[in-house]
Structure 1
Amino acid sequence: MGGGGPRRDRAQTSRRKIHHLAFFDPLTELPNRLLLIERLEAALAESERTGQSGALMFIDLDNFKVLNDTMGHSRGDLLLQRVAERLQRSVRKADTVARIGGDEFVVMLQGLGTDPHSAALKTKTVATKVLARMSEPFDLGDYQHYSTVSIGVTGFGAQPTGVSELLKQADLAMYQAKSAGRDTIAFFDPAMQAAVSASAALGADVRAALQAGDQFSVHYQPLFNQQRCVTGVEALLRWRHPARGAVSPAEFIPIAEDTGLILPLGHWVLEQACAQLAAWAERPETAQLSIAVNVSVRQFRHPEFVDQVIAAIRRHRVAPRLLKLELTESLLADRMEITLEKMDTLKQLGVTLSLDDFGTGYSSLAYLKRLPLDQLKIDKGFVADVLTDPSDAAIARAIIELAHSQGLSVIAEGVATEEQHRFLVDHGCDLFQGFLLAKPMSIGALEEFMDQHRDTATAPLHE
């Protein structure tokens, strides 16, 4: 019985540490984006209930990258810490100062009164004070650094406003301040609303399309081995808007990410892929084809993601190895242990794991050794200039060698010319994807394509 107290104390200490790691920026000790959003949601609910006004200030350091590049990251980190301290001294204890990434800080002011005009004046006073304090020199040990900031401001009050929209408004205002010459303040106004409104309208259309059930479809882009035989496909989401026609994924996927609609969209694509694998399993000529599904960071980090994958595999009775999940390098930016745990679970299930756009993000050799991967995918940006840019050629060769040394296969995406294909084959790349070989196509077109080329797999395959 005597050991219960110390154990409880250790457990409480562990919980506090976990909470701190989850909600606070380790460099500045400020609340991070997660905690800011949590507090902002509470503040918005309070404002709706009481009519009290508040404000959000988006603060970005001007020319921070120049300091980082010329003076080194240690000085850059020290400046960020000094900025955090100065911001905290510029506002009340009841206000929130958060670091949401890089050189971006957000200040949330609450309890500014029920008169919007008076609240706006108070906000302007605080923003002006912050601007002045940030222009004073920063002591970075043996170096005095002069810096300025651009500040974007938006207010909130009794009228319902979403967290995402409010952050966008402050962000838009901040960019307005930068375009006005930096070292200045810009307040969000309806003239900036067009971009936010268009984004919100498209988000509403995505939601409506999900409910309609007939606007989204999955197209498939084949993957080829060195002999130009199709070994599998990548599932790609497509949207045909009833009024606008085809909408580029580059336009609607970021909005789906921002609104959380990527979760039902991603789940739908996963189900479609597993259903297609089940259909292909009935035919000997397609029974061994794999399907790759792109997984967003938000989708992967959802608590139910692994369970959804397991359920889809069991529901459709497909071989797990034929389902390939393409993960993005940005998953490796933080929460590494949670990421590894989920990847290990999926790997033990038998699912194939691929790291997409390798070489563009956060991967390091140390991480790569720890990740239970099967495959690396060379980003199309490296493939495009592999014949004209010696550094891109060297990167492509290094990725192939590195992957093979770790027992991983390599896919090159964006292969557009015979010369690119030959270079990659000569250097040992295993699989290929790109318009030279085949474009994304509907399931009907894909099956017709495979039927036509089944007996001529070594000939050049153009759609």
Structure 2
Amino acid sequence: MAGFFGRIRKQGDEAANGAEGPVAPAPIAASDLARRVELLDSLEETGVGWFWASDAEGRMIYCSPAAIAPFDISPTELAARTITQLFEEERKDEGKGEGTARPLKFLLAARGTLGPTPVRVKLGKGETWWEIAGKPRFAKDGSFAGYRGTARDITGTHEERRKAERASQYDSLTGLANRYRMSRQLEQTLKAYAHAKRSCALMMLDLDRFKQVNDTLGHPAGDELLKQVAGRIRRVLGDRVEIGRLGGDEFQAIIPDGDDRGELGDIAQQLIQMASQPYSINGSRAVIGVSIGIAVAPYDGIEPEELTKAADLALYAAKGGGRGQHRFYSRELRDQASFRHQIEQDLRDAIHGDQLRMHYQPIVDAKTHEVACMEALMRWEHPQRGMISPADFIPVAEEVGLIREMGTWALNDVCRTVSTWPGTVKAAVNVSAVQFAADDFVDVVRKALKSSGVDPGRIELEITESVFMGDVERSARVFAALKKLGVRLALDDFGTGYSSLSYLRDAPFDKIKIDQSFVRGCAGRDSNNLAIVAAVVSLAGALGMETVAEGVETKDELDAVTKQGASHIQGILFSRAMPGEEVLRRFEEGELHFTPRGPEKYRAERRTEFRRIGLIHGDHRYNVFLRNLSKTGAKIEGLLGIEVGTEVVLDLGGGQLAVAVVRRSEGSAQGLEFETPLISDGADGLCTRHRVSPYQIELAGKPLQALGDDPYAALMTMQNRAPKAFMEVQLN
């Protein structure tokens, strides 16, 4: 090599030959520009590092020839580009709110020093990754003269780093973010959104019946199913939403600016419907479901742990409510979680302590209204808490593994009871998917029939479509064995999300029960439910099966389903479930006929309530009792002097304020119509779309925190000046 390094080597050789004795190499002085340039030239030629320079306007005036050689670009073409056009800084998670700023642009604009920065260099068809650094240069008069910098090729190491970084942040199976990344994203998002006064929703998703797929089709099939589920979630939520798999069959989504619970509920229902569609896996068919819990910041939590716990509680409530549901977090869920834990502890005592009872609801002939069958429904009479709803304890029994023992007890009790009834009346017993999947299920049925001596034809086993989620061939064998015993089979809750005509084709059902969700309001002018009822009745008739219209509550519903040809009717229009002793008394007295008693027409669903809430008018908040609640209005009691047409605000608790107009007023009772309809909370409850924002409370001088027990009180900072317009009355 000629130049500086060549001269150094020559001087060393002369010293070795003893020409003039050892001579130390002369140092390069700052004024020795030629030797300094030669040194830089040598560095460029080695390829270890390159140099670049820009003018005051940011145009590239130099770049090492070896650096731009692969791009086939001339110095003239290079000079037409600016620094930011040549160097494109890496941006992380574009569109998701993390790292989208461009520090390189800001530093250049501020004429600051550029530390080592990875950039993408794209010229023509070529693309590579460099690490650049640079310093601003200034003329003697202080004017900016451009940048001078270094660069080196890091393409290989950069790709390796990106792969390693991705592996540490993304799930290798689904390609979604992993638990670590989701935790980091949630923390960063909540911090940024609190500063910007924005909201953020957190959805927790848990697959229903995924374990059955793993157990019956194998873990490779389970992995394939998870990949397909991830793809469906992406299609519903889109690219704006950060989606992650936390592990197993748990997923999570961070939805920016999501505080409208109506919109969030719609999204959740889309996810539930899409996830419940059948999956094709290696030639096999699998059907699962999904339960979803939703919490919204800052309403339900400010910190990541607080919001995550709230979403977890909502998910727990969704799964406990029967699965395939979504639930919003509310403060009541904390009390329910404690109650649920107590139920779990007490449930074993209930089984062995003679606390369980069977009640019976009649299923009547649609034409004669004579009882044809009694559906057995389990009740729990707790010694301290009184009667506990099956909706509260059945899901717990399934989770803790007690449902099989409870199901066996119920089957034996019903068989013994039916043997004392008139010979024409049958009894229907619900069978859980867990019971059905047990290896000894057929033997349990056989023993119950034998020990009671009841005619097998008087026992109907009500089976939901969830039993088909497991081994189809095994299900067929169990059905055949049950029919051989002589019992009847009924398909319960038909049409509620997992229906398939193959069930009816392959399974020997005697009866189809049309779910009450299709019966409710079917007589309405704009309802499509009646067409669904007619289709199911027609299908059942073609297959030689009976039909039961469930949940009939009004006479117009009874008339509608009867005209469509439903063979049997069940619902509170005829009778609620009764204790076994009352059923036996009726039968002994020959009371086999049930007369329909109830409202003539279906009305918009309303919940009977009796709880204290607030009514806001002017500067005052009054205490009233909420009697009933529907999506469009409410009935309240407790105030005198309210005129029709008065505008008020109902404080339903938890920051839920509903603007309403008084439409009826009689004494201390008023009927209100809401300005904006309430929405479903995903279960049986109703809630407002929006709530009092913690950011509003913060503006009132309070610390930013999740909503408390009485958020509205935190906003009431003004003094009441006007006298009260209404008089509160004491209600017993």
TM-score (norm 2): 0.39
1:400 and 2:537 are equivalent in the alignment: yes
User: Does the CA contact (< 8 Å) of 1:57 and 1:170 recur in 2?
Assistant: no
* Partner in structure 1 of residue 415 of structure 2: 274
* Partner in structure 1 of residue 488 of structure 2: 352
Using a 3 Å threshold, how does the CA distance of structure 1 residues 172 and 317 change in structure 2: closer, same or farther? same
Using a 3 Å threshold, how does the CA distance of structure 1 residues 408 and 169 change in structure 2: closer, same or farther? same
1:367 and 2:508 are equivalent in the alignment: no
Q: CA deviation at 1:344?
A: 1.6
Match of 1:390 among 527, 535, 538: 527
Determine the C-alpha separation between the residues in 2 that align with 1:326 and 1:408.
14
Residues 118-175 of structure 1: per-residue CA shift (max 9 Å, x gap): xxxxxxxxxxxxxxxxxxxxxxxxxxxxxxxxxx99xxxxxxxxxxxxxx99944989
Match of 2:352 among 208, 211, 214: 211
SS at match of 2:420: helix
Q: Structure 2: which 5+ residue stretches go unaligned?
A: 1-212, 228-246, 256-263, 280-287, 293-303, 318-332, 599-732
TM-score (norm 1): 0.61
Q: CA deviation at 1:59?
A: 3.1
Task: Identify the structure with the greater helix proportion.
Answer: 1
Identity of aligned residues (%): 34
One-letter amino acid of the structure 2 residue matched with residue 309 of structure 1 = V
User: Does the CA contact (< 8 Å) of 1:61 and 1:103 recur in 2?
Assistant: no
Deviates more, 1:398-407 or 1:417-426: 417-426
1:229 and 2:370 are equivalent in the alignment: yes
* Partner in structure 2 of residue 28 of structure 1: 224
Using a 3 Å threshold, how does the CA distance of structure 1 residues 439 and 173 change in structure 2: closer, same or farther? closer
Using a 3 Å threshold, how does the CA distance of structure 1 residues 20 and 314 change in structure 2: closer, same or farther? closer
Determine the C-alpha separation between the residues in 2 that align with 1:404 and 1:254.
34
* Partner in structure 2 of residue 11 of structure 1: none
Q: CA deviation at 1:57?
A: 9.8
Using a 3 Å threshold, how does the CA distance of structure 1 residues 61 and 288 change in structure 2: closer, same or farther? same
User: Does the CA contact (< 8 Å) of 1:253 and 1:262 recur in 2?
Assistant: yes
Residues 80-128 of structure 1: per-residue CA shift (max 9 Å, x gap): xxxxxxxxxxxxxxxxxxxx96599xxxxxxxxxxxxxxxxxxxxxxxx
Determine the C-alpha separation between the residues in 1 that align with 2:556 and 2:407.
35
SS at match of 2:360: strand
Larger Rg: 2
RMSD (Å), alpha carbons: 4.0
SS at match of 2:578: coil
1:294 and 2:430 are equivalent in the alignment: yes
Determine the C-alpha separation between the residues in 1 that align with 2:502 and 2:316.
37
1:333 and 2:463 are equivalent in the alignment: no
Match of 1:202 among 331, 334, 343: 343
Determine the C-alpha separation between the residues in 2 that align with 1:290 and 1:57.
41
Determine the C-alpha separation between the residues in 1 that align with 2:348 and 2:435.
17
Q: Which has the higher contact order (CA 8 A, sep 6+)?
A: 1
Using a 3 Å threshold, how does the CA distance of structure 1 residues 103 and 431 change in structure 2: closer, same or farther? closer
Q: Structure 1: which 5+ residue stretches go unaligned?
A: 1-16, 32-54, 79-99, 105-151, 154-167, 177-191, 281-285
SS at match of 1:28: helix
Determine the C-alpha separation between the residues in 1 that align with 2:370 and 2:472.
36
* Partner in structure 1 of residue 87 of structure 2: none
Determine the C-alpha separation between the residues in 1 that align with 2:564 and 2:289.
38
One-letter amino acid of the structure 2 residue matched with residue 391 of structure 1 = N
SS at match of 1:416: coil
User: Does the CA contact (< 8 Å) of 1:453 and 1:461 recur in 2?
Assistant: no
Using a 3 Å threshold, how does the CA distance of structure 1 residues 175 and 205 change in structure 2: closer, same or farther? closer
Q: CA deviation at 1:442?
A: 1.2
* Partner in structure 2 of residue 376 of structure 1: 512
Determine the C-alpha separation between the residues in 2 that align with 1:339 and 1:378.
22
Determine the C-alpha separation between the residues in 1 that align with 2:342 and 2:381.
16
Determine the C-alpha separation between the residues in 2 that align with 1:382 and 1:411.
12
1:249 and 2:381 are equivalent in the alignment: no
One-letter amino acid of the structure 2 residue matched with residue 460 of structure 1 = T
SS at match of 2:461: strand
Q: CA deviation at 1:279?
A: 2.4
Q: CA deviation at 1:336?
A: 2.1
1:238 and 2:379 are equivalent in the alignment: yes
Using a 3 Å threshold, how does the CA distance of structure 1 residues 358 and 62 change in structure 2: closer, same or farther? farther
Determine the C-alpha separation between the residues in 2 that align with 1:318 and 1:375.
20
Using a 3 Å threshold, how does the CA distance of structure 1 residues 451 and 312 change in structure 2: closer, same or farther? closer
Task: Identify the structure with the greater strand proportion.
Answer: 2
Determine the C-alpha separation between the residues in 1 that align with 2:381 and 2:410.
15
Determine the C-alpha separation between the residues in 1 that align with 2:408 and 2:387.
21
Match of 1:426 among 563, 574, 586: 563
